[in-house]
Structure 1
Amino acid sequence: MKSGQAATQALAAALKRHAAQVGKTTPAVRGSDWYRAVVATVGTDGTVTTTDGIVALRDEAYQAPAVGDIIRVTVSSAGAAVALGRYAGATAPNGAWTDIPLLAGFTTPSGIFGPAQYRIVTVAGSVRVEMRGSVACSPSVSTQTPFSSALPAAARPAYGRTWAVRRQISSDTKGVTAVEVSTGGVLQVHGLTTVNATTWFALDGSYYDL
């Protein structure tokens, strides 16, 4: 009887442990929850798969996902998972200032305004490219003209972006012109025919969202 009782108790304990494990891993049992996870793969359909096999749809704020990201995942009681975004200080883009790769005919800096540089950062959960510094044009720019080779893939936007910058027309005349970045990561500046050609322009305060 004692051996039979011990076996029954052992079976009951095993069943209890199994039930606890199922409760931990089954959303329908444990209810909705959230946890930290590591991205194993990035899908082309707006999802990421974690190292523990959860396929989670990315929240709109979770941009530029990468393998190795430490993210917050929420799972509903029905098992639907959403990746809310990476943790700050984990693998969120927070790059150092890097020189823009200028094409022939463009030099930096222009005067006292510092070298033309960019960095990739995360702001409010979204990835953006910030720029600073200045570029001199020789000869001066009179049409829409590329001034950089392609930036890295991580700095290329989903759509073309454009913004206004300060430009120099002559020593006594200043103005505004447009800078663009293509989906291929090439930066372009606009100019008009003489006497309104762009001799140099500044990038301070410029940025675009991916």
Structure 2
Amino acid sequence: MSKSSHTTHRDLKWALQQQAKRAGERAPSVRGADWRLATVTTLNTNGTLVADGITVRRMDTYQAPAVGDVIVITQSGNGNWLAWGRLAGATAPNGAWTTLPLLAGFTTPHGAGFGVAQYRVINAFGTGRVEMRGTVGCNTALTAQTNVTSALPVDARPSASRRLVLGRTYSATAVGAVAAEMTSGGVLSVFGSTSPSTGFFSLDGIYYDL
């Protein structure tokens, strides 16, 4: 039994509606804004990156990106993509605490109850920043300039050397502070006398901008 003209037109209308719906689901101009999770695979030098095959522009708050970051990306109604930033638990050193690479003559932590000397790269007010914490035991002479660490990864190195003031072994007659520097090459140095020290210095509360 053949279909009536009315039934044929109704079926054709339904098929066209379904086709338009499927096309709209794929077209950002129809679908509107959307967001999803993606993994960073490529870092570009123009403020963009590639995540899951999509070229995305980073927001200013997404500092120190790294391949492997799991990020939130969002799409506007006209198809433009933005990267909001990484999620918690990103691969170290971006956002995760990492033990400082100390040179011979220095140990961490300094005694029981003190924290391990660590650093992490974070975003602070739209700018990349490195925070540090913990204590370092000093079993070597602190000369005019004594390197404490080997070079940190590129993402943790400041654009210029940063001067720091660290807490140090103190007593009624000894000054409880020591001058320090994080070089643009990513090496932490301290400055002191030529006499050997069996004390410590603290990194708690210390940070520098990238």
TM category (shorter chain) comes to 0.7 to 0.9
Q: Name the count of aligned residue pairs.
A: 204
Q: More displaced, 174-183 or 89-98?
A: 89-98
1:133 aligns to what? 135
CA contact (8 A) 1:109 1:136 kept: no
Letter of the 2:157 partner, please give it: R
Asked if 1:38 corresponds to 2:8, the answer is no
CA contact (8 A) 1:170 1:199 kept: no
Deviation by residue 1:37-79 (Cα, 9 ceiling, x = unmatched): 313322222112221x432210111122233433222323332
2:114 aligns to what? 114
Q: More displaced, 124-133 or 18-27?
A: 124-133
C-alpha distance in structure 1 between counterparts of 2:3 and 2:112, whole Å? 91
C-alpha distance in structure 2 between counterparts of 1:183 and 1:12, whole Å? 67
Asked if 1:79 corresponds to 2:79, the answer is yes
- How well do the aligned residues superpose, as a CA RMSD in angstroms? 3.7
C-alpha distance in structure 1 between counterparts of 2:152 and 2:90, whole Å? 24
CA contact (8 A) 1:159 1:182 kept: yes
1:145 aligns to what? 146
CA contact (8 A) 2:133 2:202 kept: no
CA contact (8 A) 1:57 1:82 kept: yes
Asked if 1:20 corresponds to 2:31, the answer is no
- Given the two structures, how large is their TM-score scaled by the length of structure 1? 0.72
Unaligned runs of 5+ in 1: none
Give the match's secondary structure for 1:24.
helix
Unaligned runs of 5+ in 2: none
Q: 1:4 to 1:161 in 2, by over 3 A?
A: farther
Letter of the 2:150 partner, please give it: S
TM superposition shift of 1:164: 1.4
- Determine what percentage of the aligned residue pairs are the same residue: 41
Letter of the 1:69 partner, please give it: D
CA contact (8 A) 2:122 2:130 kept: yes
Letter of the 2:134 partner, please give it: R
Alignment of 1:179-198 (within 5 A): 179-191=180-192, 193=193
2:163 aligns to what? 162
Q: More displaced, 113-122 or 182-191?
A: 113-122
C-alpha distance in structure 2 between counterparts of 1:76 and 1:203, whole Å? 43
C-alpha distance in structure 1 between counterparts of 2:80 and 2:180, whole Å? 42
Letter of the 1:162 partner, please give it: R
C-alpha distance in structure 2 between counterparts of 1:36 and 1:127, whole Å? 27
